[in-house]
Amino acid sequence: LSLQGVVNIFGWMFASSLALALPAIVSMLLANISFGVMNRAAPSLNVYALGFPMTMLLGLFSVLISVSGVPGRYTALVHDTIRHLSNFMLGGA
């Protein structure tokens, strides 16, 4: 097992997890940025009291929307994982 093989596997794991989580991360980031802009524009409205529950609802909604694309991607990731594990068990990486 070479160092380059380990680095490649960890890079693949990081990229795969990021691909699954990126839709929720981007939507939450945009929601927080928009609440920050609203709070800066109208500080008397106390946007943070409304922002926290709305952010939670938006997060749940974005996960619900992105779940429809997960099975196909997840199946491909499982096949890649099995391929990586079989290469590892056979002594290559």
Closest CA to 35 of 60, 11, 54, 9: 54
pLDDT, one tens digit per residue, over 8-45 is 888 988 998 888 888 888 988 998 899 889 888 888 87
**Could you tell me the pLDDT band of residue 75, with boundaries at 50, 70 and 90?**
confident
Say what the pLDDT of residue 87 is: 83
Predicted TM-score of the model (pTM)? 0.67
* Structural domains counted in the chain: 1
Over residues 49-65, mean pLDDT: 85
DSSP 46: -
How far the first Cα of the chain sits from its last, in Å, is: 6
Domain coverage including residue 21: 3-89
Say what the pLDDT of residue 1 is: 63
